[in-house]
A and B are shown apart, each in its own frame.
Chain A
Amino acid sequence: MAKNKWLLLVSSLGVLVLLVTAAVQENLLLEWQQIQAQARAEDGPIPVQLRQVVNPTLRTADRCVSCHVAMGPGEQAVTGPMMAAHRPVVHDPAEFGCTTCHGGQGRATTKIDAHGAAEFWPEPMLPPAMSEAGCGTCHTQADVPHRAAFNLAAATFARLDCASCHRVDGRGGTLRPDAGGMEGPDLSRVGIAGWNREWYAAHLAQAKSAVSGPWQSFRPIADDDRGRVDAFLATRVGAPRLMAAKSVFLSSGCLGCHKVNGVGGDEGPDLTRAGEKDPARLDYASVPGGRSLANWFRAHVRAPSTVVAGSLMPAMRMPDADVEALTFFTLSLRRRVVPGTYLPRDRMRVERFGAREFAADGTTLFGAFCAGCHGAEGEGRRAPGMKPFPAVAHPDFMSLASDALVAETIRRGRPGTRMRAWADGSTGLTDADVTALVQELRRMSGTRAPAESRPARWAKGDPAEGGRLFAGACSGCHGAKGEGSEAPALANPVLLEHATDTFFAETIKRGRPGTAMHGFAQPSTVHRALSDAEVEAIVSFIRTLGGRS
């Protein structure tokens, strides 16, 4: 029975060879072992061992420092390939670990797994250029303004030359040799830490009593500019790029269709935790670049329906910088559950005390909720396959529409269109917001509420006659029963309830320059001029639409 012995011999030797190979692989050839073998501390080679940052409260066990040794606690002095110490940051990496901010897989000890490029890792690292998106894991900054206000505030801060004394976001505040070494405090994080609201009076007093040095150069600041400086300081939370990106998000009308933290419309998916989307579950068929969440968002913002088949989101046609900003901000929507002791104040304000992420002024509200469909300037939009979105800031519209009509339209929406009811309690908009939006539309259109001399209902024309005229002149665009197709629906209860006869009559007569709506008081190549009586008849007919005969 020698063949059984041979079997035993060969199998045993085979096992031995495999085990030796495995032992060599495990003990000598691992990636981090080879990296650490090349690293040097002040007193020679460092011990080659697994290193990690553990924080049981945050549930991190980050072995990143097994390769990035110098980033580990107390190892700044280690030199060698890949060895760079972390720049000083508010959250000590020795306490918070790496993945809390940077994402990725802290438990892994190989590059491909740790950085998350491998399959089945739900959370790859954030792109290095977008590291600040990691702040969104725990933080939620409230009251961020529209990009216009944001940029204006930043420009004001720059124009006033505050950075000559103060350091902000790693810039400015150079030491002055003739100034006794003093410089203003670092303002990079005052948006969280708070700042003296009486700073202007304090600066003035200092400037008055100064005989030499930088205080002398302090000049009085206009009230408007002071407000902008305060607005700028409010956004200094140590994440300047993220705040800028958020202001772009709040100017692109995304909340009109998407919810973030319970505020916004629900045409599109809730974005509250969009940054945690599992990249492995996305379709990259039409995504240029690598298979990363950032690339997917980029492509998606540019051409939603090519990335997600059947997406109702119109292509946004934005400059590349805005696409980057939206990608950046969307990546920051992570909102991890944060244990109590680590829950930051800003997040607590937003999640528990009803603070909102956007400033409540009309410009920001319009930018955040309306600009997506109605255009950044309220100029209206057309998107393939969709009814045109009306130019709500059109002066001809706003000068005829009463505040009540506009407000009520926002509150109750336009059934049958993508304009939803915004005051039904599910969107996070309040009555005060609606009022602010109406005022914003007045500001954008440069109009005032129409002074009404006639009663709301004065048209006494013959509806039958009006119907005949309507069929001829209006139904092509507004539909035979005013249901709307190319042009807005007229058989709309909110419109019929709140629009005055003057609104209808004047709109018919003057038209909407810049849209397909002609003024019917003048003849054109396709229609004759309508008389006042005919207009009145049409108005009477319109009043019969929508089942309200």
Chain B
Amino acid sequence: MSDGPAPASALQEFRDNLLAVPGRIVATAFRSGRPVTDRARSSFVFGNVFLHLHAARTHRWSLRWATTAGLGIASVAAFLITLVTGVMLMFYYKPYTDVAYDSIKDIHFVVPTGRFMRNIHRWAANIMVVTVILHMARAFYTAAYRAPREFNWLIGLALLVTTLGLSFTGYLLPWDQLAYWAITIGANIAQSPREVTDAIGITATFDIGGLQRMLLLGSDIVGEEALIRFYLLHVMLLPLVIAALMAVHFWRVRKDGGLTKPADVNARMGPAPSDVYPVFSEMPAKTYHLAAVVKGRSPAVDGGPEQTVPSMPHLFYAELGVTMLTLFVCTALAMVSDAPLKELANPMVPENPAKAPWYFLGLQELVAFSAFMGGIGIPMIVLVGLGLIPYLDREREGTGDWCGGPGGWPLVQRSIAFGFSASLIVETIVIRYGWLREWFPDIPQLVITAVNPGTVITAIYAAYSLWLVRRYNSTRAGALGLFTCFLCGFVVLTVIGTYFRGPNWQFYWSPSDWPGH
């Protein structure tokens, strides 16, 4: 350093430089210096390739637990955990049908920490699905999808689909009975457009279902080709896709001015508590606006930096806290519950019941009537509906508030009641009395494809939602009702599929009532 007396000689200087190496490595790595000043903290954030997806300052509103419940960060944490444990598992996993199952057994029994890693991987994957769905619900209920965040909502949907894809492709890899038959069903769902093309007689010329299945399996059976494809998707393609989508997702959050806040947020927050570092009120001396290099919004949208705190360290404590909590939950679950490994896949003996991962069991419940509608039709309707929400709801009322908008919490409560009862009633009828095929054995498949419990429930929900739009004279009210209803339907169908369906997809009150096979 320049302070202190000049070195006596070049040798002396060499020695001094050598001694100063550790300190200089740190100083050159973290160029902002110790984060003791506000500016140093800011540059700590934007001078770091990993952290600069955050804004340098965070609004106090965003740090309230009730704002987000940390669900987005928990999803990222779960993803990182699956990433690390997944790479660990790749040391030993062999994606070949004749050894895949054995390699999983080896991971379970002889690989040091292998069983623990696999359990954590499995639990983190499940938790990621849960948190992603809840995160989406949070974004919906706080109306966070509204301008300027419409497209980020669509990216979020893509992330949801990719997450489910990652989970589903991972399901096959152990090559046990559970995996084999779940994937067989999944592949045949991909083929289910044939249900429609068969009915209108164009399968010979236009076989989109067969093509989809072929692309997924790489063959006409679930075999080696399918395993290697699922492996490729699981460890390479989908992780790359999800990482890219996540980067865009976060970057847009930052570009759109952080989290959604109510219009009167600054007034609502009140004075900062004493343990918060200075909360600033002065306008920044320089913004991107002033630099005039970008058109659009700066990180501090909707006003100056008042009520903001430095992201370093306030936001990071929250993020690290949620991350460690997620890790804790995964580890705890991994210690009490082993990831399942059933017997080796046997193409001759179907699992009965052959159940997909739990988050697909709602769809599987619908698939029991129409493979196309349950597996492709209704999921597409739901996805398209979700995607349209930010473009149809252009209102401003209630942005940033839980259940914000016309109707509010009472409307959501009523919708919960309606959503549960509608799906339960339809399911009760189906379970008690059967469906069209039982009543009219000769009914054409096309009619069942069009009219089945899935489409009926969807139609009821849609009608209810339209009624809400009229009743409250607000698209947001309709969206609130529809989203709530679909969540309830998802829960009802998933619970029935998970707990109340036994061999031959018959209804049973408890697995202990299943007939011996």
A touches B in complex, CB < 8 A:
yes
Chain A residues within 8 Å of B328, by CB? 11, 14-15, 18
Task: Assess the B105–A121 pair: CB atoms within 8 A.
Answer: no
Given A11-B327, A120-B343, A285-B516, residue A1 in contact with residue B109 (CB < 8 A): no
* Contact A63 B110, beta carbon cutoff 8 Å: yes
Residue from A12, A19, A113, A285 in contact with B109 in the complex, judged by beta carbons closer than 8 Å = A113
Of the residues A26, A281, A282, contact of B113 by C-beta under 8 Å: A26
Q: Report the bound CA distance from A19 to B314 in whole Å.
A: 27
Q: Which chain A residue lies CB-closest to B177?
A: A120
| Number of residue pairs A-B, CB distance < 8 angstroms | 90
Residues A107 and B109 in contact in the complex (CB < 8 Å), given A19-B331, A283-B517: yes
A22 and B335: CB pair below 8 A?
yes
A63 to B106, CA, bound (A): 10
Q: From B4-12, B295-303, B318-326, give the one contacting chain A.
A: B318-326
Do residues A1 and B516 form an inter-chain contact, with CB atoms below 8 A?
Answer: no
Query: Which residue on chain A has the smallest CB distance to residue B64?
Result: A1
From A5, A18, A21, A108, give the contact of B321 (CB < 8 A): A5
Bound together, the chains give a CA A11 to CA B332 distance in angstroms of: 11
**Known: A8-B317, A22-B335, A108-B109. Is A2-B275 also a contact (CB below 8 A)?**
yes
- Cα distance, A447 to B457, chains bound together (Å): 79
Which of A7, A21, A278 has the most B CB atoms < 10 Å from its CB? A7
Chain B positions 443-460 with a Cβ under 8 Å from a chain A Cβ: none
B residues in contact with A113, CB < 8 Å: 109
Q: Is B342 interfacial (CB 8 A cutoff)?
A: yes
Q: Which residues of A sit under 8 angstroms from B517, Cβ to Cβ?
A: 281, 283
Interface string of B338-368 (1 = CB under 8 A from A): 0011111000010000000000000000000
Assembly CA distance A2 to B65 (angstroms): 12
* Chain B: minimal CB distance from A503 (Å): 48
Query: A22 with B116: in contact, given A8-B320, A63-B110 (CB under 8 Å)?
Result: yes
> Chain A nearest CB: distance from B292 CB in Å?
35
Set of chain A residues within 8 Å of B270, measured between Cβ atoms: none
B116 to chain A, nearest CB (A): 6
A63-B109 contact given A11-B321, A122-B343, CB 8 Å threshold: yes
- The main secondary structure of chain B at its interface with chain A is helix
- B275, A108: Cβ atoms closer than 8 Å: no
**In the bound complex, do residue A11 and residue B317 qualify as a contact, i.e. CB atoms below 8 Å apart?**
no
Contacts of B49 in A (CB 8 A): none
Question: Is A284 a contact of B516 with CB atoms below 8 Å?
Answer: yes
**Are B342 and A18 in contact, CB atoms less than 8 angstroms apart?**
no
Contact mask for chain B residues 493-517; partner A; CB cutoff 8 A; 1 contact, 0 none: 0000000000000000000000111
B110, B342, B344 — which one has the most chain A CB atoms within 10 A of its CB?
Answer: B110
Question: In the complex, A128→B172 CA distance in Å?
Answer: 36
**When the two chains form their complex, are residues A26 and B116 in contact, meaning their CB atoms are under 8 A apart?**
yes
Q: Mark B286-313, 1 if CB is under 8 A from A, else 0.
A: 0000000000000000000000010000
A2 to B63, CA, bound (A): 11
B112 at the binding interface (Cβ < 8 Å)? yes
Q: A4-B63, A50-B110, A63-B110 are in contact. Are A107 and B324 (CB under 8 A)?
A: no
Q: Does B276 sit at the interface, judged by CB under 8 A?
A: yes
Write out, one digit per residue, whether chain A residues 105-120 have a CB within 8 A of any chain B CB (1) or not (0). Answer: 1011110010000001
Q: Is the CB of B112 within 8 A of A3?
A: no
Bound-state CA distance A182–B332 (Å) is: 69
Are A107 and B325 interface neighbours, CB within 8 A?
no
> A4 near B317 (CB under 8 angstroms)?
yes
- Residues from chain A with Cβ under 8 Å of B176 in the complex: 120
Give the residues in chain A near B110, CB-CB below 8 Å: 50, 52, 63, 107, 109
Query: Chain A residue with minimal CB distance to B273?
Result: A1
**Does A61 sit within 8 A of B, measured CB to CB?**
yes
Q: CA of A21 to CA of B324 in the docked complex: distance in angstroms?
A: 17
Q: Which of A1, A110, A282, A284 has the most CB of B within 10 A?
A: A1
Distance (whole angstroms) from the CB of B333 to the closest CB of chain A: 10
For residue A124, give the distance in angstroms from its CB to the closest CB of chain B.
11
Question: Which residues of B sit under 8 angstroms from A282, Cβ to Cβ?
Answer: 516
With A121-B343, A122-B344 as known contacts, state yes or no: A107 contacts B105, CB within 8 Å: yes
Q: A2-B275, A8-B324 are in contact. List 13 more A-B contacts (CB 8 A).
A: A4-B63, A7-B317, A8-B317, A18-B328, A18-B332, A26-B113, A61-B102, A105-B105, A108-B105, A120-B341, A120-B342, A281-B349, A284-B516
Interface residues of B (CB under 8 A from A): 63, 65, 102, 105-106, 109-110, 112-113, 116, 176, 275-276, 309, 314, 317-318, 320-322, 324-325, 327-328, 331-332, 335, 340-344, 349, 515-517
Chain A interface (Cβ < 8 Å from any Cβ of B): 1-5, 7-8, 11-12, 14-15, 18-19, 21-22, 26, 50, 52, 59, 61, 63, 105, 107-110, 113, 120-122, 278, 280-285
Q: Could you show 25 A-B contacts with beta carbons less than 8 Å apart? A: A1-B309, A8-B320, A8-B321, A11-B327, A11-B328, A15-B324, A15-B327, A15-B328, A15-B331, A18-B332, A22-B116, A22-B335, A26-B116, A59-B102, A63-B109, A107-B109, A107-B110, A108-B105, A108-B109, A109-B110, A121-B343, A278-B343, A282-B516, A283-B515, A283-B516
